[in-house]
Amino acid sequence: MDLRSELNKVGGFKNLELLAKQVVEGFIAGMHKSPFHGFSAEFAEHKIYNHGESTKHIDWKLYAKTDRLYTKRYDEETNLRCHLIVDNSSSMHYPEWTGVTIDNLNKIAFSALASASLMNILKKQRDAVGLSIFSDKYDFYSPEKGSERHHQMLLTKLSEAVVVKPKTQTTETYKYLHQIADKIHRRSLIFVFTDMFQTSEDDEKLFEALRHLKHNKHEVVLFHVFDKEKELTFNFHNGPKRFIDIETGEFINLYPDNVKVNYEKAVSDYFDNLKLKCGQYRIKYVEADINSGFNNILTTYMIERQKFV
């Protein structure tokens, strides 16, 4: 089944679980070309054997087929707790589309499908996953669990986030990150999907909140979600345009070419500062261009999971 045609057929995110499954299956199919060739479509039931572990659960039949050592995984085994944090502020609904399809994902749709794809892998590996969604308020929180009912509830919440656009209001991102950090008590792998745009507070408060997420030895990955073509390189046709701040409603009329050079430098400097600050606070920074697919998201997960456990 083709992901592109399926998403267009269902008219958006009416079957987020199916779309996430297709993203993951496509990723796994290409892993033989990557450093993760040790994983297979069977990785839900097996993990690579590490020297020094007990040989009791080695799957010798699989060894005969693959010439690689794997140990069996069991239903009750949970090695990882993961918490997904999704920014659903007004700016995350850029670009604005009349209908969301695979060809015109906005930032929140990209984040929802990326999150659902991670959940698909976590589910296969019997890991527990939790979810937080915030906009101009703390919209939703659910602790880490591994049940099918819990999985379906999180998919529903992600789908709703794509469809229901919050009112045009500023977002105090740092405030909700602090609240989320206070709720996650057991060591977890935390993925944050946000465009890092806020107007009400300085960047230092935002990074203090991200640092708070690292308490209790959590590992934090910041997926910086943006439209590279528009938000970084400012690639607009040079005609008179009105640019509107989605969160404040303020606007300015101008010709894009008149500000392109200064805009690109200012945004590039801001992005570089984000990377620098994340490095200082030992937060993994990952660019997540909404037009570049999901392989970078899932590859990051694979790397961080191997380091985490």
pLDDT tens-digit profile, the chain (309 residues): 444 454 444 444 668 888 898 889 888 877 655 444 444 333 445 677 787 777 877 888 878 878 888 787 654 445 689 999 999 988 898 887 666 666 678 999 999 999 999 999 999 888 999 999 998 889 999 999 999 999 999 999 999 998 877 666 667 888 899 999 999 989 999 999 999 876 555 678 888 998 999 887 899 999 999 999 888 888 787 888 877 776 777 778 888 888 888 888 988 998 998 899 999 999 999 999 999 999 999 999 988 988 876
Q: CA 248 to CA 231: how far, in whole Å?
A: 17
Residues ≥6 apart with Cβ < 8 Å to 118:
82, 84, 129, 191, 297, 298, 301
- The Cα angle at residue 194 between residues 80 and 36, in degrees rounded to 5: 45
CA atoms within 13 A on the CB side of 61: 2
The secondary element (H helix, E strand) that includes residue 71 is: strand 70-72
> In 3-14, which positions are buried (b, 16+ CB within 10 angstroms) versus exposed (e)?
beeebeeeebbe
Output the furthest CA–CA distance in the chain (Å, rounded). 70
| Cβ atoms 161, 90 nearer than 8 A | no
Smallest CA-to-CA distance from 20 within 172, 212, 154, 173 is with 154
Q: Distance between CA 89 and CA 246 in Å, rounded?
A: 9
Query: H or E segment at 224?
Result: strand 219-226
- CA separation for the pair 307, 309 (Å, rounded): 6
pLDDT given at position 180:
94
Question: What is the structure's pLDDT at 38?
Answer: 42
Alpha helices in 81-235 (DSSP H): 107-124, 148-163, 173-183, 203-213
